Chain A
Amino acid sequence: MTTFVQLTITGLANGAVLALAALGFVLIFKATGVINFAQGDFLLVGAFAVWSFVVQVGLHWTVAVAAALVLAVVLGVLIERLVLRPMIGEDPVAVIMVTIGLAAVLQAAVQMIWGVTPRRLPEFIPHGVFRLGDVTIPQDRVFAVLIAAVVLAAFSVFFTRSRHGIAMRAVADDQQAALLQGISVRRIFAMAWALAAVSAVIGGTLLANLTGVSGTITEIGLLVFAVVIVGGLDSIPGAIVGGAIVGLLQQYTAGYIGGGLQQVVPFVVLVLILLVRPYGLFGEVRIERV
């Protein structure tokens, strides 16, 4: 029983971080219809930026995170402007190839700037443990869950209440009609990439706290695909539930079966869910009126 509770808590905490990592992917797909294969590398860049600002520049961690967020906005807008905008209106497969190329470039850039040695994120996130009977809960997991909850809630409110959030969903639905409401589709696209980069800084930092600052973060990018496909490519609640499912599956498999199966099981479940619900659990079903 203790094992089960322990695994559940760890799984949910990891799930929250995964959901946050997946958020940027969902944002970009929702607003621009682009499947961004470089999301994992966004996380990597975010983690390294924070590490670099704290360790190499010597900023206080709050300032470092703020600086990394600013850098993310700039990077997001630049990538949209220079890489994605020329591809507007092109074949989706071509756009996907471009994002794969972008992933390679970002990864290479990170290695050129910061090398390939894994780093440790300085311990600004609390790292003690809470004890509940026999169960120990690491404080950093609790912290990660809280941050993830706040950021995800903020994005949900943004999409349903704010003028630009609604405009972003409108653009996702029908670009010509959105233009006719006076919405600048170009600006919305730039905003989506900037927000995705911002969420990647936060997600990447939380991930780096669990795994260390290294290329492993990109591998987790692969898990992000499982998360968003289970949840539905364009759904924020889907990303949260998908994150929890993948996180729990990994922990249960690792705890009860082991043998590295936790790398495989999430993807097997992914295939099963897609067989039953092709749009993912919460994906937008194409509306067809009869």
Chain B
Amino acid sequence: MTGQDTDTAASTRAAGDDAGPALAINNIQVIYDEVILVLRGLSLTVPDRQIVALLGSNGAGKSTTMKAITGLLPTEHGEVTEGDIVYRGRDITRWDTADIVRAGISLVMEGRHVFEHLTVHENLMAGGFTRSGADQESVDRVYAYFPQLRERQSQRAGYLSGGEQQMLAIGRALMADPDLLMLDEPSLGLAPLLVEEIFGIIERLNSELHTTVLLVEQNARRALDIADHAYIMENGKVVLAGPAGELAENPDVKEFYLGVAESGGRRSYRDVKHHKRRKRWL
């Protein structure tokens, strides 16, 4: 496959740190505008070459976690006030985003954020900015994963469909040859078939390029399917963690995130209220 030499690139980068996890977040606290406490003592680890899913409802702090890792908080008047973020043995907590990307972490933001006025090809070139020789080979690798993008390479990204934009956003992140790929809600607003395709590609990236993946999702069922390990967040901290298979069988997770009642069948509104109350104790 064309993935051959990137494969070695990723593994040389990982070499020497094989013992430790790719990423470890230790007890971080994030405050916005000096008053709004968003993350309260969040900890999680992403083992090398695994897929880790981070689940949780709206406002749990998933996207904030992504922004904390990539150093984007200062652009939104936020900061990490306690704890640290360690990537392959180095404390990257207050690094500049550009340095974090150079170190091997890429984030595909929620809402895709492609460069709308640039063509598909130019978007990919921008994605390869950190590698001064962002060559045809890397572009071809992206097109191998996303053949639709090749057909549209000279079109402006703003006119692509939602699914194509998501593919472009992932492809653009791949141009930096990331060692840790983080995706924030890649399935948001996409048709079920496209969601399948995107998740399939994430699995392939992990198995073919040995890219470590941190996946933020609301689509818990699909995320738990492909993940090795999963964390569930509520109100700015982790409330449940474990191997994805075990979490998928956990009765609380089934009830609250997978929408499967233990007894099956319809439940009354009174039960739902009861569940909401119980959920706070999770």
Contact with B along A140-167 (1 / 0, CB 8 A): 0000000000000000000010010011
Q: A166-B125, A170-B126 are in contact. Are A180 and B117 (CB under 8 A)?
A: no
A219 / chain B contacts, CB cutoff of 8 Å: none
Pick the residue among B113, B117, B129, B159 that contacts A176 (CB under 8 A). Answer: B113
Question: Which residue of the partner chain B has the closest CB to A288?
Answer: B158
Pick the residue among A160, A174, A289 that contacts B115 (CB under 8 A). Answer: A174
Are B156 and A287 within 8 A (Cβ)? yes
Are A163 and B129 within 8 A (Cβ)? yes
A166 / chain B contacts, CB cutoff of 8 Å: 118, 122, 125-126, 129
Q: A166-B122, A289-B159 are in contact. Are A180 and B101 (CB under 8 A)?
A: yes
Are A176 and B158 within 8 A (Cβ)? no
B72 / chain A contacts, CB cutoff of 8 Å: 176, 179-180
Pick the residue among B98, B115, B159 that contacts A177 (CB under 8 A). Answer: B115
In the bound complex, CA of A181 to CA of B169 (Å): 11
In the bound complex, CA of A169 to CA of B118 (Å): 8
Tell whether A133 is near chain B: CB-to-CB under 8 Å. no
Are B116 and A173 within 8 A (Cβ)? yes
Tell whether A182 is near chain B: CB-to-CB under 8 Å. yes
Tell whether A62 is near chain B: CB-to-CB under 8 Å. no
Tell whether A175 is near chain B: CB-to-CB under 8 Å. yes
In the bound complex, CA of A284 to CA of B157 (Å): 13
Q: A177-B115, A289-B158 are in contact. Are A163 and B134 (CB under 8 A)?
A: yes
Pick the residue among A163, A172, A179 that contacts B97 (CB under 8 A). Answer: A179
Q: A181-B126, A182-B130, A287-B158 are in contact. Are A176 and B118 (CB under 8 A)?
A: no
A167 / chain B contacts, CB cutoff of 8 Å: 126, 129
Question: Which residue of the partner chain B has the closest CB to A168?
Answer: B126
Which of under 10, 10 to 19, 20 to 34, or 35 or more describes the interface residues of B? 20 to 34
Are A179 and B115 within 8 A (Cβ)? no
Question: Which residue of the partner chain A has the closest CB to B175?
Answer: A181
Contact with A along B119-140 (1 / 0, CB 8 A): 0001101110110101000000
Query: Measured between C-beta atoms, what is the minimum distance from B269 to chain A in Å?
Result: 37
In the bound complex, CA of A177 to CA of B159 (Å): 18
In the bound complex, CA of A176 to CA of B101 (Å): 13
Are B134 and A173 within 8 A (Cβ)? no
Tell whether A216 is near chain B: CB-to-CB under 8 Å. no
In the bound complex, CA of A160 to CA of B129 (Å): 14
B123 / chain A contacts, CB cutoff of 8 Å: 170
Q: A176-B75, A180-B97, A180-B106 are in contact. Are A170 and B176 (CB under 8 A)?
A: no
A169 / chain B contacts, CB cutoff of 8 Å: 115, 117-118, 122
Contact with B along A260-290 (1 / 0, CB 8 A): 0000000000000000000000001001010
Q: A163-B134, A175-B75 are in contact. Are A182 and B158 (CB under 8 A)?
A: no
Tell whether B82 is near chain A: CB-to-CB under 8 Å. no
Tell whether A70 is near chain B: CB-to-CB under 8 Å. no
Pick the residue among A160, A176, A181 that contacts B127 (CB under 8 A). Answer: A181
In the bound complex, CA of A92 to CA of B126 (Å): 26
Tell whether B198 is near chain A: CB-to-CB under 8 Å. no
Query: Measured between C-beta atoms, what is the minimum distance from B236 to chain A in Å?
Result: 21
Tell whether A183 is near chain B: CB-to-CB under 8 Å. yes
Question: Which residue of the partner chain A has the closest CB to B67?
Answer: A176
Are B129 and A173 within 8 A (Cβ)? no
Tell whether B96 is near chain A: CB-to-CB under 8 Å. yes
In the bound complex, CA of A113 to CA of B127 (Å): 46
Query: Measured between C-beta atoms, what is the minimum distance from A29 to chain B in Å?
Result: 13
Pick the residue among A163, A177, A182, A183 that contacts B113 (CB under 8 A). Answer: A177
Tell whether B70 is near chain A: CB-to-CB under 8 Å. yes
Tell whether B114 is near chain A: CB-to-CB under 8 Å. yes
B126 / chain A contacts, CB cutoff of 8 Å: 166-167, 170, 178, 181, 183
Query: Measured between C-beta atoms, what is the minimum distance from A87 to chain B in Å?
Result: 15
Residue among A173, A176, A179, A182 having the largest count of chain B Cβ atoms under 10 Å? A182
Pick the residue among B96, B118, B132 that contacts A184 (CB under 8 A). Answer: B96
Are A182 and B101 within 8 A (Cβ)? yes
Query: Measured between C-beta atoms, what is the minimum distance from A10 to chain B in Å?
Result: 35
Tell whether B88 is near chain A: CB-to-CB under 8 Å. no
Interface residues of A (CB under 8 A from B): 160, 163, 166-167, 169-170, 172-184, 284, 287, 289
* 10 new A-B contacts at CB < 8 Å, known A169-B117, A183-B98: A166-B125, A169-B115, A172-B117, A174-B115, A175-B75, A176-B72, A182-B97, A182-B101, A184-B98, A287-B156
Q: Could you list some 25 contacts between A and B, CB below 8 A?
A: A163-B129, A163-B134, A166-B125, A170-B115, A172-B117, A173-B115, A173-B117, A174-B113, A174-B114, A178-B126, A179-B70, A179-B72, A179-B75, A179-B98, A180-B72, A180-B107, A181-B101, A181-B126, A181-B130, A181-B176, A182-B102, A182-B130, A183-B98, A183-B126, A284-B117
- The 7 A-B pairs at the shortest CB distance, nearest first, are namely A287-B158, A182-B101, A182-B130, A177-B113, A173-B115, A170-B126, A179-B97
Interface residues of B (CB under 8 A from A): 70, 72, 75, 96-98, 101-102, 106-107, 109, 113-118, 122-123, 125-127, 129-130, 132, 134, 156, 158-159, 172-173, 175-176
